Structure 1
Amino acid sequence: MATVVVQQQHALQHSTPPASPIPTGLAVPRRPSPIPNKHLPVCPPGPSPLETIPRLTDVRESRVTQEQASSILYPPTGFVALSPSESPQVYAIGAQTLATAIHHQAAQPLPDPSQMFPWLHGLHPDNRLQTGFFTNRKRGLRRTPWCWRGITIVKLGDNLNRARIKGAVTAPEVINPSARFLMADPPEGFSVRNFQIQTAKLAAMSDIILYAEDGDSQSDLLELAEDFVTAQQAWRMKHDPAQERPTYNTFVLTDPFAEFEKEHPDLVAVDSAGHSTANVMDLFQWERFEMRSMSRASEISKNVFLGPTPDYMLRPHVCSPPKDECYDLFIEASDMANIPGPRLLGMIDKQLDGGTQRMEFPSSGSVVLPSGNTREIEDIVNTIRWIYYLANPDHSSETSDLDGDVVMGHTERPARRILIHCADGYTESSLLAIAYYMFAEGVPAPEAWLQLHCDKKRNFFTYPTDVAFLSHIQARLLQESPATGSVDTSCVWDPDWFLKMDGSFPSRILPHLYLGNLNHANNPALLRELGIRRVLSIGEVVHWSSDERSQWGSENLMFIHNVQDNGIDPLSEEIDRCLEFLRQGKDDGSATLVHCRVGVSRSASICIAEVMASQGLSFPRAYCFVRARRLNVIIQPHLRFVYELLQWEQLQKQKRGLPSERELEWTTVCREIALLNKPYARS
């Protein structure tokens, strides 16, 4: 007999990713918390330079003078030397000077991307694939740029969970035990997203500032400083034997950390007691904040709510339930759950009078379409019916399941408030939420998708298996729905846009802004249902009929040519006109779909720029804003796009007469992105 199989989707459905060691360069313990159910899609790199029309990169490089940004640390003539008289020296730096240096550095313009790329991608001399793709026999592109002068703050020891200054890293992230800067470039493979190498790669081109927790050995700190001086000497002998560029120096913070913490709290990420100060943005925490803000619990049908697992359930000894948040039944959608049987429902039903109850239900993507009606389908429908009559006892009638274990129809029972939840508030719970909405509201699957998204303002994510399963059982749900009574299901049909859908809608970033892939763009009927009237295509052409194009109007379609996801083609030249197109749609009351092929890099970068411009957010905050709302697919702007967006942010601030200080530095942004993505990377 055919059955409904509940199985774990290993590729996409890890509630907690499999444990794996974090590379030395990213060895920062994270706070324990559920990981959102996301995955990293494969982004095609686009054609190699051999297949593209030559760009003006080399011309631009020849015209740009490679000058280092100014620094109050160079030359170090005003600093006290701590090492013996022979050169090179280790210098002392006070708390006030360090704070000034950090703020000054953040206000300096980033070098032109043509000076830093493709070098930042990582051009290991043994990696012929990477170097061949980017340099194309132009050896000049492999040279280390001279224009970068950064600041790398290094904390003594390996614990960054206490006393962490903004952007601080540990020594093993940048130098090896032989006192040499790490060779960060990957020796094999191809990637335009080597975020994990940026900290080590640029530490060699930075002034190093070392500090320690109060009470740590000062002799150990000075010994580490000598190692960095040695590393800087060795790097200079290899990369600048003629000593043509300014030197990089090593400094030691001589004031106690407690003084720095007291006088400059805005630059302290974690205090001496190990508490996050919230004064320095943390991408991990900010993504979680944006995700939960986006998916906060709301009522989808009378007395039934959909949202993320409450914090007080995730951290029972840390958080308490809000006074205004009270549920009688929590239903957690989980990829490890079984379909509830009648005896379990009967037991929970009897215990509800005694207090709040909890139960589980299979997650989205885990229920496989059966070939016919089965007992498992009966159990699913029975569970949905049971939830409805708990929430709506006044609509109930004397009904019992096949075994007589669940009785619905206690007319004097109170209405129960029910929360359908999962860690992120949308992934695992979407199947149950849509099925329940179909039953409770008496609408077919396509209408349930649209009403939950458009009317209830819920963002959710479903899989193709969910579309097939809900289409299969929708006749049964509608026949038994109290909102419709017995209906003739022969007239229920799925529209063309629904048949073409893979389960997911394009992601609603803002009311006027959607982010999606090429499949979304090639489903214009779906776009119309969502209220989308304009399409911005980044590097990928939509395949529409001439009638469809005529119906939409050429003024509502915009195509950006010659932008591939190859780490070479610049996007900054296109940002302003893309945002103008989005603003025109917003002014007309229209929503716009921005798409590329996968919807995670080129189009995501434009959406980040729009969020920065319209919401007044810094790049790191806009990145997390878009990342959270892209739902189950992780956005992946490559290195050059991220760099260009950081640079574009500064230019916009200058135009508005605002302070141009970056919230986070390039290396910190890259390090945080690498840490965010690591749990989802395929081993």
Structure 2
Amino acid sequence: MMVASNTIHKTKSTPTQDLSDFAAARFASKEKNLASPASLKDARQRNFPQAAFLSDSRNICLSKDSYEQEHLLRKGPGASVHLSLEGLNKSLRKIKDTEIYVISSPEELKQLLDLHHSEENPMPSPDDMFPYLHGSAGLREKVYFDARFDPSSELQFLAEDSETISRRFPPDTFAKPTELGFHLMTVNSRAESNPYLTNSVVIEDMLVFRETGDIDVSPERLDLSNFKQFKDFTQTFDTPCCPLAQTNRNFMLQTTLMAPLSHFVVYNNEMDLASNFEVAKILEYLQSSCHKRNIYVVDFPTRQWPKVDQYFTQTSVWHRSGKKKRFFNKSTDFTQPGSLYYLEQNLVWLVYNMTQPFPNLYVGNALNFKQSIPGTRSGLQHDFQLYIYCHEKARMPSRSLLNLILQDMPAKGLKEPLFLEFSSAIFRAEAMSEDVASCFLTFLKLVSVIVKEHQQNALIHSYDGFSGTSFLLLGLGLLWRCDYVEEMALDLFRQPEFKLQLSFSEFLVLKSLEARIQLLKPQLQNATILLPDLCSETGPILDQPLVRPADWLRSENETTFPDFIHKSLYLGSVSHASSTTLLSALQISKVVSIGEKPRWYGALNCTFRHDATPATEGPVIEPIYLFNKGHSSVYEVQITSPETRARLFHHNAVPALDSFIYIHGLEDDGRDSMFLLFVGCPQWVQEKLLISPDQKYKALVLCRIGVSRSATLCIASVMKHFHMSLVESFLYVRVRRLNVVIQPNLRLFYELFLYDEHLRSRRQQNDKKSGEAFFCWWTFCTEIHRLNQQYIE
């Protein structure tokens, strides 16, 4: 699907003092041959007439399984929303010779927007909207997502010729989205920024080029005939397909895909009816006769805009409110175009705030540095005498300069703040010279003398508060606290307020320096003793046997750590769960795994029911809950007997682990659903999956990598237990697991969106009463796409 591009409206960030094994996953995109907004604007001016004169029950169906849990589900918009809409329409005027309604007062506009944002107007169920929202156009893609197809056993069928596939799956039999519901798109006809109604889009978001043989269409030839009408969006094309790389993260297409299902209200800042009418006529053409929805144009005096200001985007206000886990207050505007990137960055600064891993030594971010320089309140509080800025392009001081600073240092320490830079990028284990090694050791010596001998405060800082700092902190830890890198890494890892980020090459460098640091501790911690010219002395300590973790920090895939979500919950990968070292370090009591079995699973000596055969020996574990029509199942294995523990973990390496929960048949393919785990399963089952911070144990939730299915569970847990919105929870979990970019697939994210509606409904909150601005599905997805593009680019 080729979509016309839309200008990205970005806002400037306004940070405040209170801001507390994929790198940047490349989500599949179908954006090609983009048209410029300027060309489209010129085309509108050439091809569309001036404005004419004015003349005087659906029910939410969550799935067949969910009907058995009707008491948990609320009803969708029935007669009330549609009758109210019908009544409003009867009171409105129409533009002459058209079916376009005119909103002539702010009260009418507010009534229309209130209906759309009403608690009685939830989004349709996932089964009603998928696979349509995946945006698949190719025959084989549509077959892959079709409910009649089983990818676990039929993938080879997609290699058949198109005629064979079409006989089994005729193109006109693919599921279509529900036509029910009231979706309202606010369209800014001039793409102006003020006033800007929340969840606004522009007409370019809905223009999809027709497939033609032309490589390029000149602006002079561009008119409406170049664009698809909404009725053409469900056409099927015979295109190649890679079954293992399906497009299940098409966040950028959601506005385009929701447009055929939506009504439209068109406005602009100056109440220029001509511009509004032009865009309304384009929408009328796109709708065609078989996709008719209401189109409204706004036309009242501009001085009356403040009467609907609750639906305007506003400046965000950041603070941590009360004792609840909230990082944004109720006036925070999540719907400002381009806002998620700035919200995420500010949340990084809020979460990775200044910490103190060692006495007199602090680690912080760019804001902490700005707030702590001499003359500021924080600067007076901490009285930092040493600032070390860690970044990739740092200009490291030479060894001779470091020695000169040490020699000239007054007996009572620094009298004026010292500013240095540090970068671990210059250290490479395979090519590290003795001069470079000596320079690093001298750097450690300078920091140690200032912090330990003179008892002066130092701040190690980077832009986000953790990138580039771990190498230096581990080196100092080897000098002050632990003898081995692995031991020191685990010691920092146990501190939830500190984020450890270490590459395998950095680990190897530190290992190569480990013994030297131990040998030279007296010289490194005393200002009067100079280091030897060559740090190559050998001694007893170099031959000291190393008791190191047997199952971690062994390769490039084993240098990350599970991420702290809250005091009872960590998010990670199957590699993390397989490490008894990490499980023991965190004292994990429960492992919740989606689709992956840790390396130690075989020692449990049991078989899950779906794997059992007549020849199976030993215990067979029955599921505690079935969902997705029996395709998916939840198991729990209690690890309680001494025999099992002894067999599972040698020398009782993980004494706290007593429960292994395994979710089978839940793939990250855009087909499988998790929604019943949020709203349909028994409470006692949900409590095992959506971990509460009130639990006395610690749980590790994981899938293969820890970016989609397990991240979805963690986001839902935060939403439920901390009363946080999906926007807050999604950004919070992303920021906590920032070493990879978490992104649930589109269906799972839609289910989280519905769960957000469900929780707000149970709390009897809506945007009118609470004052909070909520995203529409399509604009939220657009912002997610923009956010992810920041990492890809």
Query: 1:267–1:279: 8 Å Cα contact kept in structure 2?
Result: no
- Whether 1:438 aligns to 2:499 is no
- Whether 1:229 aligns to 2:284 is yes
Q: 3-state SS of the aligned residue for 1:515? A: strand
Corresponding residue of 1:156? 189
Pairing partner for 1:81 from 77, 88, 93: 93
- Whether 1:204 aligns to 2:260 is yes
Q: 3-state SS of the aligned residue for 1:566? A: coil
- Whether 1:652 aligns to 2:745 is no
Corresponding residue of 1:526? 582
Aligned Cα root-mean-square deviation (Å): 4.1
Corresponding residue of 1:623? 730
Deviations 1:3-50 (A, max 9, x none): xxxxxxxxxxxxxxxxxxx9824622353799xxx9324799xxxxxx
Q: How does 1:194-593 map to 2 (within 5 A)?
A: 194-214=250-270, 217-232=272-287, 234=288, 236-237=289-290, 240=291, 247-256=292-301, 259-260=304-305, 262-270=306-314, 279-281=332-334, 282-310=339-367, 313=370, 324=381, 327-345=384-402, 355-363=416-424, 367-370=427-430, 374-394=434-454, 415-455=455-495, 457-481=497-521, 488-489=541-542, 490-500=544-554, 502-544=558-600, 547=603, 550-551=644-645, 556-575=659-678, 579-582=686-689, 589-593=696-700
Corresponding residue of 1:134? 145
In the TM superposition, what is the alpha-carbon distance from 1:495 to its structure 2 partner?
2.1
In the TM superposition, what is the alpha-carbon distance from 1:321 to its structure 2 partner?
7.4
Aligned length: 605
Corresponding residue of 2:116? 105
340 and 103 in structure 1: CA distance in 2 versus 1, 3 angstrom threshold:
farther
Deviations 1:136-173 (A, max 9, x none): 5264334343134311112232344x422211122222
- The unaligned stretches of length 5 or more in structure 2 are 16-21, 29-60, 150-168, 209-221, 316-328, 527-538, 605-638, 646-653
Q: 3-state SS of the aligned residue for 1:207? A: strand
Corresponding residue of 2:23? 39
In the TM superposition, what is the alpha-carbon distance from 1:597 to its structure 2 partner?
0.4
* Distance in 2 (alpha carbons) for counterparts of 1:277 and 1:93: 30
Query: 1:43–1:565: 8 Å Cα contact kept in structure 2?
Result: no
Q: TM-score when scaled to structure 1?
A: 0.78
* Distance in 2 (alpha carbons) for counterparts of 1:655 and 1:478: 59
Which of the two has higher C-alpha Rg?
2
Deviations 1:251-307 (A, max 9, x none): 2223455643x3344422147xxxx99542243333223222221011222322112
In the TM superposition, what is the alpha-carbon distance from 1:608 to its structure 2 partner?
0.4
* Distance in 1 (alpha carbons) for counterparts of 2:377 and 2:78: 52
* 595-604 vs 300-309, greater mean Cα deviation: 300-309
In the TM superposition, what is the alpha-carbon distance from 1:203 to its structure 2 partner?
2.2
Corresponding residue of 1:636? 743
Q: 3-state SS of the aligned residue for 1:370? A: helix
141 and 427 in structure 1: CA distance in 2 versus 1, 3 angstrom threshold:
farther
Deviations 1:590-624 (A, max 9, x none): 11000000100000000001101111111111111
Query: 1:307–1:426: 8 Å Cα contact kept in structure 2?
Result: yes
385 and 624 in structure 1: CA distance in 2 versus 1, 3 angstrom threshold:
same
In the TM superposition, what is the alpha-carbon distance from 1:82 to its structure 2 partner?
4.8
Q: 3-state SS of the aligned residue for 2:440? A: helix
Corresponding residue of 1:594? 701
In the TM superposition, what is the alpha-carbon distance from 1:366 to its structure 2 partner?
6.8
* Distance in 2 (alpha carbons) for counterparts of 1:613 and 1:62: 22
* Distance in 1 (alpha carbons) for counterparts of 2:89 and 2:27: 49
Query: 1:229–1:249: 8 Å Cα contact kept in structure 2?
Result: no
Q: 3-state SS of the aligned residue for 2:699? A: strand
- Whether 1:175 aligns to 2:220 is no
| AA aligned opposite 2:23 | H
Deviations 1:356-398 (A, max 9, x none): 44332224x774223676211111121121122122343xxxx
| AA aligned opposite 1:155 | N
Deviations 1:427-451 (A, max 9, x none): 2222222222222334421222222
| AA aligned opposite 2:125 | D
In the TM superposition, what is the alpha-carbon distance from 1:542 to its structure 2 partner?
1.9
In the TM superposition, what is the alpha-carbon distance from 1:120 to its structure 2 partner?
0.2
Corresponding residue of 1:672? 783
* 330-339 vs 629-638, greater mean Cα deviation: 330-339
* Distance in 1 (alpha carbons) for counterparts of 2:101 and 2:760: 36
Corresponding residue of 1:14? none
Query: 1:537–1:594: 8 Å Cα contact kept in structure 2?
Result: yes
| AA aligned opposite 2:703 | C
Corresponding residue of 2:176? 143
* Distance in 1 (alpha carbons) for counterparts of 2:789 and 2:509: 32
* Distance in 1 (alpha carbons) for counterparts of 2:108 and 2:592: 47
* Distance in 2 (alpha carbons) for counterparts of 1:356 and 1:264: 53
* Distance in 1 (alpha carbons) for counterparts of 2:392 and 2:101: 56
Q: 3-state SS of the aligned residue for 2:186? A: strand
| AA aligned opposite 1:102 | L
Corresponding residue of 1:28? 9
In the TM superposition, what is the alpha-carbon distance from 1:420 to its structure 2 partner?
1.6
Corresponding residue of 1:411? none
Query: 2:568–2:695: 8 Å Cα contact kept in structure 1?
Result: no
Query: 1:209–1:252: 8 Å Cα contact kept in structure 2?
Result: yes
- The unaligned stretches of length 5 or more in structure 1 are 1-21, 45-55, 241-246, 395-414
In the TM superposition, what is the alpha-carbon distance from 1:520 to its structure 2 partner?
0.6
Corresponding residue of 1:118? 131
427 and 172 in structure 1: CA distance in 2 versus 1, 3 angstrom threshold:
same
| AA aligned opposite 2:740 | V
Q: 3-state SS of the aligned residue for 1:593? A: strand
| AA aligned opposite 1:280 | D
Q: 3-state SS of the aligned residue for 1:224? A: helix
| AA aligned opposite 2:484 | P
| AA aligned opposite 2:136 | L
| AA aligned opposite 2:569 | L
Query: 1:463–1:502: 8 Å Cα contact kept in structure 2?
Result: no
- Whether 1:92 aligns to 2:103 is yes
Deviations 1:176-226 (A, max 9, x none): 774556888998873100001101221232121122224x64432332233
In the TM superposition, what is the alpha-carbon distance from 1:671 to its structure 2 partner?
1.2
219 and 578 in structure 1: CA distance in 2 versus 1, 3 angstrom threshold:
same
* Distance in 1 (alpha carbons) for counterparts of 2:420 and 2:301: 52
Q: 3-state SS of the aligned residue for 2:389? A: strand
* Distance in 2 (alpha carbons) for counterparts of 1:390 and 1:381: 14
Query: 1:195–1:674: 8 Å Cα contact kept in structure 2?
Result: yes
264 and 377 in structure 1: CA distance in 2 versus 1, 3 angstrom threshold:
farther
511 and 251 in structure 1: CA distance in 2 versus 1, 3 angstrom threshold:
same
Corresponding residue of 1:18? none
